[in-house]
Amino acid sequence: MGVQKYIYLCILIAFSLNLTSTSGLSNGGHLPSNAYLQQESGYDLRAFPSYSGLHSENDSYKTFMKIRRSLSAASVQTVVNVLDFGAKGDGATDDTKAFETAWAKACSSSAEVNFVVPKNRNFLVKQIKFSGPCKSGIAMQIGGAIIASDDRSDYSKDRRHWIVFHGVENLVVSGGGVVNGNGKIWWQNSCKTNKANPCTVAPTALTFYQCTNLGVNNLKIENPQQIHLSFEKCKNVQVSNLVVTAPGNSPNTDGIHVTDTQNIKISSTTIATGDDCISIVSGSQKVLATGITCGPGHGISIGSLGAGNSEADVSDIVINGAKLSGTTNGGGSGRASNIKFQNIEMENVENPIIIDQHYCDQDKPCKEESSAVQVENILYQNIKGTSASKVAIAFDCSKSHPCEGIVMQNVKLEGGSTTNSKAVCNNVKFLNPPTISPNCAN
């Protein structure tokens, strides 16, 4: 088989060890939503949805917020405590069966349920699936620690998942406790750690699959086997006040992964990982990330898009007070559109702003593919800081599908102490003359 060739789309801001929102920007640096773009004719204002606009007409989301408030109240009618179903919480006893039995009880209840994982205890839980649909809403209160088995043979049936919530509606997972993937043994056996090892998959610590009306907040998720937290085919999701951590050299430990998910808000969350802090991939729409602190990590990525010649669509993404970074591969088709990056501060950042549709994983040049992901309606606004690389702004767009409707306002990226920064802009169509520093060299 010949060497595979790829063309890929990568939209990224800030491959950085420090990520903070620009709360220090003066009011003069902020514009009212859409104010600047309303002066421009022909621009698609859908590129700049406010978060309230993402949900304002969504009846199911409003219902979810009511359910969430009721689940958080003291009037919850049914309490299901895992200790009452045989869990020991001593960190040594396998408590998986107790959790499964407790979930069956909770899911079959016609009254709203408070599912309790008590404080000051460590619960050893092997692979487990919390399946729906359930008869009523459930609030899972994780007060203690849920700890994964570090025996890789316990994952022989499914190497990709540890804890899965599947098809659950009206669910809140919170409580101030810890979900610990015990991932060190997996990192040690990764081919990225030791090239002599075979490259194999590892479990995602916490997966939400086909869940609707979901809240995940006030938890610490640490040391996953691979990805910390994944939302797949979900709708109407609120994520807030999480602390997501793994060593900076831990392989493939993405923080929050969003795929084929609609209406999700991620806010007030601290992420320190060995890979992307947040990754948003094909099929995801109406995503807001705000108040994100990321470091160490690779930032926030949009991709992979169009992998394996597949159709790829990502739209209505708002990153406010965060940075993007990542890589994608493919040669497929589709669209990345209506994406907004604003109020971002960078310090000593490698490759701060990039759109790249020409990636090749071999030493020899790759052939230009006829298909590509269309990139259009992208706003960069109020982005300041320093670049650790000579090229601070790099647009390398496809000749067949040039980047269109790009707006850059109040972008200033200075070179570090030893270099001056520059901008390279290939096959990009700005809606108006960009207000950037450095200016495009071509």
Domains of the chain: 1-49+299-442 (no CATH), 78-256+268-279 (2.160.20.10)
Q: Given this model, what pLDDT does residue 108 score?
A: 98
Residue 100 near residue 80, CB atoms below 8 Å: no
Q: Which tens digit of pLDDT belongs to each residue from 363-374? A: 455 555 544 678
Q: Which of 184, 183, 169 is nearest to 138 (CA)?
A: 169
Provide the token pair at 402.
């040039």
Q: How far apart are CA 288 and CA 323, in angstroms?
A: 13
Long-range contacts, 96-99 (Cβ 8 Å, 24+): 96/124, 96/125, 96/126, 96/127, 96/128, 99/123, 99/125, 99/128
Q: Which of 184, 180, 75, 182 is nearest to 137 (CA)?
A: 75
41: DSSP letter? T
What is the b/e burial string over 240-276, where b = at least 16 CB atoms within 10 angstroms of the residue's CB?
A: bebebbbeeebbbbbbbbbbbbbbbbbbebbbbbbbb
Residue 290 near residue 342, CB atoms below 8 Å: no
Q: Given this model, what pLDDT does residue 367 score?
A: 58
Q: Given this model, what pLDDT does residue 396 score?
A: 86
Residue 346 near residue 387, CB atoms below 8 Å: yes
Q: How far apart are CA 14 and CA 64, in angstroms?
A: 34
CA angle centred on 49, ends 48 and 54, rounded to 5°: 160
Strands 333-356, 10-15: pairing kind: antiparallel
Q: Given this model, what pLDDT does residue 255 score?
A: 95
Q: Which helix (H) or strand (E) holds 88?
A: none
Residues of the chain predicted below pLDDT 70: 1-76, 303-312, 322-335, 358-372, 416-419
7, amino acid identity: I
Size (the chain), residues: 442
Residue 62: is it exposed, middle or buried by C-beta count within 10 angstroms (0-12/13-18/19+)? middle
Q: Given this model, what pLDDT does residue 74 score?
A: 41
State CA 157 to chain mean position distance: 27
Q: Given this model, what pLDDT does residue 334 score?
A: 55
Q: Given this model, what pLDDT does residue 27 score?
A: 35
Residue owning tokens 């003291």: 74
Strands 333-356, 20-21: pairing kind: antiparallel
Q: Given this model, what pLDDT does residue 384 score?
A: 85
Q: Given this model, what pLDDT does residue 335 score?
A: 67
Q: Given this model, what pLDDT does residue 375 score?
A: 87
Residue 126: is it exposed, middle or buried by C-beta count within 10 angstroms (0-12/13-18/19+)? middle
- Residues sharing a CB contact under 8 Å with residue 190, sequence separation 6 or more, in sequence order: 197, 199, 202, 251, 252
| CA gyration radius, the chain | 22
Q: Which tens digit of pLDDT belongs to each residue from 293-336? A: 887 777 777 866 655 555 567 888 888 876 544 322 223 445 68
Q: E strands within 233-332?
A: 235-245, 256-259, 262-272, 278-280, 285-294, 300-302, 311-320
Half-sphere exposure of 309 (CA within 13 A, CB side): 5
Residue 298 annotated as catalytic: yes
Q: How far apart are CA 162 and CA 180, in angstroms?
A: 11
Q: Given this model, what pLDDT does residue 67 score?
A: 55
Catalytic residue (one of 161, 257, 298, 358): 298
Q: How far apart are CA 374 and CA 9, in angstroms?
A: 9
Distances (CA, A) of 362 to 5, 76, 316, 359, 367: 8, 58, 33, 9, 11
What is the dihedral angle through the alpha carbons of 211, 246, 313, 12, rounded to the nearest 10 degrees? 150
Residue 304 near residue 330, CB atoms below 8 Å: yes
Q: Which tens digit of pLDDT belongs to each residue from 383-423? A: 988 887 888 898 888 888 899 999 999 999 888 666 688 99
Q: Which helix (H) or strand (E) holds 347?
A: strand 333-356
Q: How far apart are CA 179 and CA 136, in angstroms?
A: 24
Q: Given this model, what pLDDT does residue 237 score?
A: 96
Distances (CA, A) of 32 to 37, 342, 407: 10, 12, 16
Q: Is the peptide bond before 251 cis (omega within 30 degrees of 0)?
A: no
